[in-house]
Structure 1
Amino acid sequence: MGATPANATRLRCNRRSSSSGDSAAKDIVIRRATRETAHVHLLSDHNRSEFLATPQLVRLDHAKGEDGRFEPSLLIKGDALVLKYLVRGVRVQFVAARVRGDRLLYGLLVFDDPAHPAMLWSVMEREQEQLAMFALAGGEPCQLFLFNEFAINVAWNDLPVNFSSSRLGSLAASAALGPADHSVLHAAVDDVIGRALGADPADPELLVVDLPVLTDWRMVNNSLVTNSAGISHLDAFDADEGRQQERVIAWLTDNLFPLVAIDQPRVHKGGKLRELTDALLSYPLGTFLFESKALSLLDRPTLPDRSTLAKNLLGHVAKAARQLKGATRQVKAGTDILDEKGNAHDIERTRPIHAIILVPDIRLLPDTFGADLMHDFMAATGGYLHLLDPSELLRIVQTTAEFVRRSESQLVTPMMAFDSRLIARAEQCAANGSLVVEIVTHFEDR
């Protein structure tokens, strides 16, 4: 198991300082998909495994269309903030570059922050990617598909760009195929970003294409039928951005099979019903409280850069820690916990409580952040304070499932493993002196 600061570059999303870029807000029209217009990209087994394992990336695919013909598709997986920047029409460039001799690295340079544009990238490995590049170089149309943290297709659009006059075809033809060690090639990405920002048209091993502002995105609404037979709707671009992030909790924790799961639990306070926190899970050995703090992007008249979002998030996290401290005290005091129908639930109250702050992207925060919040929460409540984003929560849930699968006793439940993983994470945070860490668990093949 390894732990790194969360601001350390995640696999296939790099940032580099630059004065270039434009994050001005654009007028957009979000058109809901109808039966006649809805397109959903279904990932192959290979792509799905990669998309679930990698927080952010792009892949070209030569996919079979509804008319039976194969067509190039650009698949983009990102966190909620990156996807919202794309939907709002932030400046984007397509970049392809030869690296390490004969490998072709390609991706999107996203100017969600003028000083630190991000590159979502991959290295061409498979024949389908090469065929897609040949098709683009031949002038064929391309479609973009956006995928959220759970590798679910949430939107699509047409890409009205003609690559036929570019060097994309020759770059693809001369590049090697086969598995690539992305951890090694990762070091070349910063150099590619620098070359792309310089954009020397005479560089024969580099292609940089400005993509048009895309506004007419077609949204794909998704629904989860929970294990308790409830239905949770997830629209990544709903105007109520806060509520959508809260629903992420249910989507990610449903397969943990908690004994009690309450969306927006309530308590009686001052003669009125008041929300305790955004979500609560409980099983015989522990209780988990969630407080979600989203960042609004879709309804802002001027699109902020990431440095502005980071300043906003600092205040939100401090407020969430205070809210969770109060909620934990209420649970420990034996206050009745009610669901939306007013039904009271028995929950575990004696053991240390896990209090989880869910933010859209922990990389917005400094590498050494939250030690004081963590220590204060432990001293005041005896519980654990965690800071997660959807990608990190997903990783913990995935690790939980693998621990259960590998359990020799067959007595470890998903909630037990989840509890254990969070305790291990809290210990690592204490050792690092920061709430902002990423933990990657490696399993040996049996």
Structure 2
Amino acid sequence: MRNSLLISLLMSLIITSCVQKEKSLQIKQVKELNFQDITYSNTPQKLSEFIESISYIQLSEDPLIPDLEKVNLVIDDKAIYIDTQEQVLKYTPNGDFMQPLFKLGPGPEEVSFKLGKAIFNLEKEFVAIRSYSSDQYKLFSLNGDLLGASQQYFGEEKRRKQIVGYDGNNEIYCWDYVLPEYGTEFNIDGSVFCYVRDMSTNQTILQLPNFHDDIKATYKGKIAVNGNWPIMYGKQDSLHWIKPANVDTIYQTTDFSSITPWYVIHKKNTAADYKFIIHAAVGDISRSEISSPKEDIYYVLPLKSGILFSYWGKETQEPCYGYCPANGKANQYSDVPFENDIDNYLNEVSFQHLSNCYVKNDYLYMLVDAFLFFEESSSSPFKTLTPDSNPVILKFKLK
């Protein structure tokens, strides 16, 4: 189902007031992203398309930060938090190590084994951690004190709750799918993409409905979803953005009184549409479609000027990347890093860990390996940096 149908459905729902029960959904200044002519290219895009300047933050040499594939950044005015696969490390804004946020171990005030990303509530100054063998999220203060635990994340029919974000008293969460019986008609996204709960009253105050939940496929005993399923989520100052993994709209909200479309992506005709994705997710596609998968957008990072994105095409076995300006065209995706035409430190910048970036106060933060500054045509911004040093934080000033 194409995006034009999505917009018409939204408008129809607004006019007839057939929207979510808790809050109204209203359209405000939707920005268009044209992917209809996108092609693969081995010519790098330039950082100056969306970046004004770059500064760098050197991190303490100890503790050693592991491989960056599963390392996330969170920034506030007081500290830098580096969320690794095992731990959350706290640093000063200048990059000096302060402390880990919890202890690893089997004790009641410890985390036996950290599962997934840490979920930060910067307003209430705590972080939620899923610990192996526990059916709750353990809550730690940003100073490392155990505060307690969240409500259980198993719901009716053994549905699993996934907390994806916080905003003060508000909790943003999704329900995982429950496997149906073989041969059952099934929409893996369900009728609602995500919910917002007021933790002080335990009331649901907002829902993002799935306007395509009438599209169903026959469950064939297999599940294959985007690694970012069910939703992609981020917070940029007071703005929260949400993109359901299988649809072409990025939504935004600032106060959870309503949620509105921010960007609408118009894919090329040969790319995977919603119907195909829902059928492919449960194995309800032909052998020819399995052997020749359709290209699609894998992850997005929306900015005020446009979006950075990762893209699965047919030319490579790995995700490619690109940038599309707001109300403009995405001309290319590429596995070639962006050319750094801003300064002389890094010759090129790869966004292969795009989902691990963080945006705050019109700056984009990302981690890069130290050895990249010692490759040909690059140079180090710090005298004490070595190829074996901890990663460096790049701080991009956004246009």
TM-score w.r.t. length of structure 1:
0.22
Where is the helix percentage greater, Structure 1 or Structure 2? Answer: 1
Where is the strand percentage greater, Structure 1 or Structure 2? Answer: 2
TM-score w.r.t. length of structure 2:
0.24
**Which gives a bigger RCO, structure 1 or 2 (Cα 8 Å, sep 6+)?**
2
